[in-house]
């Protein structure tokens, strides 16, 4: 099963039309919601509210920012001296979030939010830059594939999407579980990499009280529905501790 493909397809549907099966009831701050377009509220698929940990003046990174709801909430909290970056791999969700960017900038009194395309387990690689590169230098054989890999290495080093130690707070709302199990430890290491010394991570996600059975992990509907990829309860804090986090 291709995890990324099933997740992309499910959330592209969610960007076009509200998906009730992806929603969890969450009590968000109504004062923050009041500024948001209704479409963004309707097409949000979170399971918690990490925005409550945002402080004025911070640089906040939202992993799997979707339609931008939590980013636009966080933008109200960081104030004019702060900024918010949303990372998502889904073109339809990015289009939804960016559609309201100018409107929200007017409401906020400044454009303090940006949305970028990338994989949350590889925050150094700018996927839109890679797509532009591929348009000019398509992969047609083994040699051109090798050149692409070399370009990716240089890009991560010279022009990282999210630089080392550049973020005060990493937030994520029901997204880490959507990453393939083979990439989850790398995902947590990337969170650690981009945080400034003393930075924080506020993660709302689905966890399981026992290991998810192998046959359920092969179900794309359950995986894209935030079930099959859930961290096991003890595994979740352990992954962060192993990446170097303290106070988990």
Q: What is the pLDDT along the chain (248 residues), one digit of tens a residue?
A: 466 676 666 666 656 666 665 556 577 899 999 999 999 998 887 778 999 999 999 999 999 999 999 999 999 999 999 999 999 999 999 999 999 999 999 999 999 999 999 999 999 999 999 999 999 999 999 999 999 999 999 999 999 999 999 999 999 998 888 888 889 899 999 999 999 999 999 998 877 777 776 766 676 665 556 566 677 778 888 888 999 888 77
Would you say residue 248 lies in a domain? Answer: no
What is the rounded distance in angstroms from the CA atom of residue 105 to the CA atom of residue 44?
20
What is the rounded distance in angstroms from the CA atom of residue 113 to the CA atom of residue 123?
17
pLDDT of 219:
65
Please give the C-alpha separations between residue 19 and each of 38, 75, 98, 183, in angstroms, as whole numbers. Answer: 15, 25, 20, 26
Would you say residue 192 lies in a domain? Answer: yes
On whether both 8 and 92 belong to a single domain, the answer is yes
On whether both 37 and 132 belong to a single domain, the answer is no
Domain boundary among 140, 159, 178: 159
Q: Under a CB-based contact definition with an 8 Å cutoff, are residues 67 and 42 in contact? A: no
Name the E strands within 3-135: 59-63, 83-88, 113-117
- The structure's pTM equals 0.90
User: Which residue do the tokens 């130690």 mark?
Assistant: 165
Domain CATH for 35:
3.40.50.150
pLDDT of 95:
96
Element (H, E) at 207: strand 207-208
On whether both 133 and 229 belong to a single domain, the answer is no
On whether both 20 and 116 belong to a single domain, the answer is yes
pLDDT of 223:
59
Would you say residue 109 lies in a domain? Answer: yes
On whether both 65 and 24 belong to a single domain, the answer is yes
pLDDT of 18:
67
On whether both 30 and 93 belong to a single domain, the answer is yes
pLDDT of 56:
98
pLDDT of 230:
72
The count of domains in the chain is: 2
Q: Under a CB-based contact definition with an 8 Å cutoff, are residues 86 and 62 in contact? A: yes
Q: Which domain holds residue 177?
A: 3-123+164-243
Please give the C-alpha separations between residue 121 and each of 7, 83, 93, 130, in angstroms, as whole numbers. Answer: 14, 21, 18, 16
On whether both 65 and 77 belong to a single domain, the answer is yes
On whether both 138 and 217 belong to a single domain, the answer is no
Structure tokens given for 224 = 């894209």
On whether both 106 and 192 belong to a single domain, the answer is yes
What is the rounded distance in angstroms from the CA atom of residue 18 to the CA atom of residue 125?
30
Q: Under a CB-based contact definition with an 8 Å cutoff, are residues 126 and 159 in contact? A: yes
On whether both 148 and 34 belong to a single domain, the answer is no
Would you say residue 43 lies in a domain? Answer: yes
pLDDT of 89:
94
On whether both 116 and 227 belong to a single domain, the answer is yes
On whether both 21 and 133 belong to a single domain, the answer is no
What is the rounded distance in angstroms from the CA atom of residue 13 to the CA atom of residue 96?
12
């Amino acid at each position: 099963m291709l995890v990324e493909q099933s997740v992309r397809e499910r959330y592209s549907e969610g960007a076009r039309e509200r998906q009730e099966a992806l929603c969890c009831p969450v009590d968000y701050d109504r004062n923050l919601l009041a500024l948001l377009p209704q479409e963004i509220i309707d097409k949000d698929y979170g399971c918690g509210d990490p925005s409550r940990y945002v402080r004025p003046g911070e640089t906040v990174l939202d992993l799997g920012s979707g339609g931008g709801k939590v980013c636009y909430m966080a933008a109200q909290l960081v104030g004019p001296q702060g900024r918010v970056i949303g990372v998502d791999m889904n073109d339809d969700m990015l289009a939804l979030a960016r559609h309201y960017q100018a409107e929200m900038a007017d409401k906020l009194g400044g454009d303090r939010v940006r949305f970028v395309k990338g994989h949350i387990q590889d925050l150094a690689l700018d996927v839109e830059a890679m797509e532009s590169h591929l348009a000019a230098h398509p992969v047609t054989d083994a040699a051109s594939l090798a050149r692409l890999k070399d370009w990716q290495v240089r890009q991560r080093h010279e022009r990282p999407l999210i630089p080392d130690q550049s973020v005060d707070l990493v937030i994520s709302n029901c997204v880490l579980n959507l990453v393939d199990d083979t990439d989850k430890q790398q995902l947590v290491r990337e969170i650690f990499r981009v945080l400034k010394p003393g930075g924080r991570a506020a993660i709302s996600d689905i966890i399981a009280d026992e290991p998810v059975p192998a046959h359920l992990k092969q179900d794309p509907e359950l995986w894209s529905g935030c079930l099959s990829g859930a961290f096991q309860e003890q595994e979740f804090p352990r992954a962060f501790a192993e990446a170097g986090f303290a106070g988990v």
